[in-house]
Chains A and B, each alone.
Chain A
Amino acid sequence: MKVLVAVKRVIDFNVKPRVKMDGSGVDLANVKMSMNPFDEIAVEEAIRLKEKGVATEIVAVSIGPQKAQETLRTALAMGADRAILVQTEEEVEPLAVAKILAKIAAEEQPQLFVLGKQAIDDDNNATGQMLAALLGWGQGTFASKVEVADGAATVTREVDGGLETERLKLPAVITTDLRLNEPRYASLPNIMKAKSKPLATKTPADYGVDTARRLETLKVTEPPKRQAGDKVGSVDELVGKLKALGVVQ
C-alpha cells in the first residue's frame, strides 16, 4: 500500500523567533529552517510501516517555496521513495494546503496520509482534519500509536483525559503527536542517495486550487514581556514570599 506524507519547511525548532520591527511578521531572513518536527515524526512512521512490510511506497509532499526542496530531500534521505513539491512563494493557509493534498490523494490513491499535528510556525493544528473532511476519510489525530492491519488503522490518540483508541477504515488520515516515535537521522550514504530520487515540481494551479488567503494578517506584535522578579536565597524566604503574595495559606 502507498503512504503519502506531508512535510513543511519551518523555522528551526531551536531558533527563537523575532518579530519584525514593522510588525509585518516574523523575521525569517538568514534564519535556520528545518522540517517541521511533527512532520519528521510523520515521515518516520511511514518508513516504519514500510520496514514492517505494510507500506510499499512512500511519497513525500510539500507545499512551499523552492527551498522546500531541501525539506523533501531530507524526507527522501530518511527513507521516502519520491517527492512532490507544489511550489509557491506565497504563504498557503491550511485550507488551501488541504485542498491541494486532497487533489494529490485523488491522483496517487494512497491508503494512508500522514501529517504532523501542527506546524510550529503558524500553530494552526488544522490541515490533517481539513484534508480528512475533504476526502471523507476517517481521521486519527494526535496519534501516539498506529497499527495497520486488515484494511484498518488502529490509532491511539493523545487526548486531554488520557489515551483514546479509534479504528479507522482505510484509506485514512493520521496526524502525529510527539510520542509516536523518535525520528531517525539520515545517514550520509542515504543523503547522497536521496539526491537521485525523483522529485516532481508542480504549482497550485496544476491542481486547480485557489490559494488566495482568507485570513489577512493585519499586524504581528511581540507578546507582553514578563520581567524577571526577585531572587530568594532559601526555602524559608520562598515560603515567606508566597505567603505574602497570598498564593499559599
Chain B
Amino acid sequence: MSVLLLVEHGDGKVRDATLPAVTAAAKLGEVHALVLGSNVGGVAQDAAKIAGVAKVLVADAPHLDRELAENVAPVVAKLMDGYDAFVAPATTFGKNIAPRVAALIDVMQISDVIGIENSNTFTRPIYAGNAIATVRSNDAKKVITVRGTTFENASREGGNASIEEVDAGSEAGVSNFVGLEASESERPELTSARVIVSGGRAFGSAEQFHGLLDPLADKLGAAVGASRAAVDAGYAPNDYQVGQTGKIVAPDLYIAIGISGAIQHLAGMKDAKTIVAINKDEDAPIFQIADIALVGDLFKIVPELTEKL
C-alpha cells in the first residue's frame, strides 16, 4: 500500500502533530510526505529526515501559502491517483483539508482514527469517546485523520528521503487569507505538553483563572487547559479547551481543578497517564476517573500547591 501523508508545518518547520501521523501511516505502507506551501524548501528538508518517510513531495507556489483548503485539496486529490491512502493529523489543520480531499475523490473519510487493525479496518471514538467503533472501509482508497495521542511520535532524525517537486495546481479563486491572531504563550503546546493544569468554571473569573493557574503552570512547566464551561464563561480562550469539541490530550500528568467532569470534558483527557482532581464537590464525576483526588477549596489549595511543589 502506498500512503500520502499531509505534513503540518509552521514557522518553517514540521510541526509535532505530524509525527504520530507518520507512525500511523507507516502501519499502512510506504509513506510519502506531502509538504504544501510557499517557500517551503526548509520544511521539505525537515520532513525528509523523519524516520519512516520514504519520499517527500513538495508543492511550492504563492497560492499555496497559508494552505487554504480550497487551493490545497485539488492538489492532493490529483496526487491520490497514485496512492491507496491519504493520512492527515486530526488537528484543525488536518480536519479542514482531509474531508475536502475525500469528497473530491468520492471516499468516505475515517475520522479521528485511534487504532489500525489492517489496511481496511480501523477503530475510532464516537459519542465523545463514550463508545469505540470498529469500522471497515469499503472504499478502494482510504482517507484518514489520525488522533495524535494514540500513536507514538516518529523520530525527527534517521530518515534520508528524496525530495521531489510536484504540480502545485492553480488558485481556486474562492478564498483569501486575511490574518492570523496567534495565541502567544511561553508555555508548551497543550497537545504535546507533558503536564497540563486545567481549570473549570469554579474559578469564577478570568482574573482568578489566570491569577491562580498561571503560577502553578509555570512552576510545573505545564500547559494550561480549560473546560468548555470556563471557555464559555470567558475565563480562557477557546484554544485552551480540552474535550470532545476542543483538544484531545494525553499528558503524563493532568491536574483538573474546579472541573466537575462533564462527559464532553472527560472525552478530551481520560487518556492522561495520571489524573489529579481538585474539587470542592466530593460527588463530582471527575473523581470517578481521577487517580488522586483532593476535596477542598481551590482558592486555598492552588496557592498552597504552587508553593509546595
- A residues near B (Cβ < 8 Å) are 11, 13, 16-17, 19, 26, 38, 93-95, 98, 117-118, 120-134, 136-139, 141-142, 144, 154, 157-169, 172, 177-179, 213-223, 226, 228-236, 238-239, 241-242, 245, 247-248
Contacts and interface: CB of A to CB of B under 8 A. Distances in A.
A120 B70 contact: no
Contact of A223 (B131, B175, B182, B231): B131
B193 interface: no
A159 B69 contact: no
Contact of A241 (B134, B231, B292): B292
Q: Which of B131, B138, B264 has the most CB of A within 10 A?
A: B131
Interface stretch (B19-27, B53-61, B94-102, B198-206): B94-102
Interface stretch (B40-48, B157-165, B301-309): B301-309
A219 B104 CA distance: 28
B279 to A, nearest CB: 11
Contact of A231 (B10, B138, B263, B295): B295
Nearest to B129: A223
B126 A216 contact: no
B93 A159 contact: yes
Contacts of A247: 195, 252-253, 273-274
Contacts of B174: 136-138, 168-169, 172
B136 A218 contact: yes
B1 interface: no
Given A123-B126, A178-B238, A160 B191 contact: yes
Contacts of B28: none
A226 B289 contact: yes
Contact of A220 (B95, B132, B176, B292): B132
17 contacts: A17-B128, A95-B103, A95-B107, A95-B109, A120-B244, A128-B99, A130-B99, A139-B70, A160-B247, A161-B182, A163-B183, A164-B179, A179-B231, A220-B133, A228-B288, A242-B276, A247-B195
Interface of B: 10, 17, 68-70, 73, 91-93, 95-104, 106-112, 121, 125-139, 172-183, 191, 195, 220, 228, 231-232, 238-239, 241, 244-245, 247, 252-253, 263-264, 270, 273-276, 287-295, 301, 304-305, 308-309
B289 A16 contact: no
What 3 A-B pairs are tightest by C-beta distance, nearest first?
A129-B99, A229-B291, A214-B108
A114 B177 CA distance: 20
Contact of A158 (B98, B238, B264, B270): B238
Contacts of B136: 215-216, 218
Contacts of B228: 178
Contacts of B177: 164-166
Contacts of B231: 178-179
Nearest to B278: A238
B108 A215 contact: yes
B100 A133 contact: yes
B196 to A, nearest CB: 11
B180 A126 contact: no
A125 B301 contact: no
A231 B286 CA distance: 12
Contact of A217 (B134, B287, B291): B134
Contact of B292 (A13, A160, A178, A230): A230
Contact of B290 (A133, A177, A229): A229
Nearest to A248: B309
A121 B127 contact: yes
A232 to B, nearest CB: 5
B32 to A, nearest CB: 22
B293 A120 contact: no
A166 B308 contact: no
Given A120-B245, A213-B108, A245-B274, 15 more contacts: A26-B131, A95-B108, A95-B109, A125-B112, A130-B103, A138-B174, A141-B69, A163-B181, A165-B180, A177-B238, A179-B238, A215-B137, A218-B136, A239-B305, A239-B309
A242 to B, nearest CB: 7
B100 A221 contact: no
Contacts of A128: 99
Nearest to A142: B92
B103 A133 contact: yes
A164 B96 CA distance: 12
A10 to B, nearest CB: 9
Contacts of A157: 92
B121 A218 contact: yes
A160 B103 contact: no
B178 A167 contact: yes
B292 A132 contact: no
Q: Which of B178, B191, B292 has the most CB of A within 10 A?
A: B292
A217 B135 contact: yes
Nearest to B246: A178
Nearest to A126: B99
Contacts of B252: 247
